[in-house]
Amino acid sequence: MNRQIPLLCVEHIEKYYGNQGTVTKALNQVSFRVQHGEFVSIMGASGSGKTTLLNCISTIDTVSAGHVFLQGKDITAISEEDIAIFRRDNLGFIFQDFNLLDTLTLEENIALPLTIGKVPPKEITERVCCIAQRLQISDTLKKFPFQVSGGQKQRCAFARALICNPKLIMADEPTGSLDSNSARILLQMMSELNKETCATILMVTHDAFCASYADRILFLKDGKIFNEILKGEKMRDIFYHEILDVLSVLGGDRPC
């Protein structure tokens, strides 16, 4: 793996919504880079463009201008036919509302991306067992989403995002539907896996506590990057207070 080339390179992206009468500029000349193995968080108030940015990077939405490169490949130029394969091979997703399929068990939800990728059934079973053990959901594998807690559901979603070993894991408010204990367990696991496996994580959140687990935080305001802070060697609680300070300057949602 060439560590000199950034994994993700976002260059001057813009995103407009609406029609000729009313145009909303959701993203305005946003540029940043993410290195391999980095855990980056994007913060901002409601309507600042966090989720739009994540959607543009994850190919769920298209950009109005600018480019997004993943390992040097311009993902804004990928055709509609190839986009699904690109997502399957390169990206992993975690959403606030879990996005698990209710009709599948947790085991099957985790296995789903592998079945789409035509991985042999035996290998699927082994990989699911391995990741479930790592995320401590082995006991609940045979259960359906409605039979488990929110924390277990989100760990299942995380396992599903990790199972294909994607280059980039994208999380949109992953703790938004969780209680504080479940949120802490999940973030701890994300952080550990980031360090152990060098998984690159890009997380959107408006929660300072959640963001404090990241290595670097980008602050968005009105569609522009307003600030950027690095954790470095700082303790997490110190970093947390640093985030709160930036947020107070930013003037958006101020967590309790």
Partner 1 sequence: MLKKLSIRNAKRQSKDYLLYFITLTCTVSFMYAFNSMIFSDIVKAFPSIGVLPCMITVASLLIVLIMGWMIGYMTKYILKKRSRELCIYMISGIPNHSIGRLIFYENSLIGIFAFVFGILIGTLFSQLLETIISSMFGMAYVLRFRFSLNAAVLTCLYFGAMVLLAIRKNNKWISRATPYDLLYYERQNEKRLLHNGVSATILFLVCVLTGCMGIFLMCTEPLGNGYDVLMGVVCLVLFLTGFFLSVPDFLIMRFGNREKWKYEKNRLVLFRRFTEKIRSASIIMGILSILFMLSLTFIGAGTAVYMIAEKNMEQSVFDIMILHKAESNDFSAYENALTLSFPVQSSYAYSIYTDNKNSFLTVRNTAISSTGRSGYMSYAEYQHDTYMKQSDYKKLREILGLQAVELNPSFCYIHCVPALEKPFEALIERDKDLNCAGYLFAGNGIFCEPFSQMDTYGNGLDFCIIVPDAAVSQMTILYSLLSVITETPLDNRDLQNIVERCNGLSMLKRNVGKTASDGSGITALIENVDYLSGRWVDKESLTQLYAMSICLFYLSLVFEITGAAILVTQILSDREKKRQQDRILQQLGMNAQDIEKLNNCQLSMMFLLPLLPALIISSCFVYISAGKMQLSAFHLPVFSNNLWIFGSLCVAFVFFILLYGIYYIAARISYRR
Q: Is 84 in the site for partner 1 (CB under 8 A)?
A: yes
Pick 149 or 248: Cβ nearer partner 1: 149
Question: Which position among 114, 171, 199, 220 is part of the footprint of partner 1 (CB under 8 A)?
Answer: 114
# residues contacting partner 1 (CB under 8 A): 33
Q: Is 146 in the site for partner 1 (CB under 8 A)?
A: yes
Shortest Å, Cβ 23 to partner 1: 26
Q: Is 62 in the site for partner 1 (CB under 8 A)?
A: no
Contact predicate 35/1, CB 8 Å: no
Question: Which position among 23, 85, 238, 249 is part of the footprint of partner 1 (CB under 8 A)?
Answer: 85
Question: Which position among 49, 113, 145, 151 is part of the footprint of partner 1 (CB under 8 A)?
Answer: 113
Pick 89 or 228: Cβ nearer partner 1: 89
The residue behind tokens 């894991």 is: 169
Please give the residues from 2 up to 61 whose contact with partner 1 meets the rule CB under 8 A: 58, 60
Q: How far apart (Å, rounded) are the C-alpha atoms in residues 123 and 107?
A: 13
Q: Is 106 in the site for partner 1 (CB under 8 A)?
A: no
* Structure token digits, residue 20: 């000729």
Q: Which amino acid is at 206?
A: H
Q: Is 139 in the site for partner 1 (CB under 8 A)?
A: no
Stretch that binds partner 1, among 12-20, 31-39, 94-102, 201-209 (CB under 8 A): 94-102
Relative to beta strand 168-172, strand 200-205 is parallel
DSSP 20-84: SSSEEEEEEEEEEEE-TT-EEEEEE-TTSSHHHHHHHHTTSS--SEEEEEETTEEGGG--HHHHH
Among 107, 106, 153, 112, residue whose Cα is nearest residue 128: 107
Pick 112 or 244: Cβ nearer partner 1: 112
Provide the β-strand partners of residue 23.
18
Determine what percent of the chain falls in helix, strand and coil, rounding each to the nearest 5.
Answer: 40, 25, 35
Shortest Å, Cβ 162 to partner 1: 13
Residue ranges binding partner 1 (CB under 8 A): 58, 60, 80-81, 84-89, 93, 99-104, 108, 111-117, 119, 121-122, 124-125, 146, 160, 164
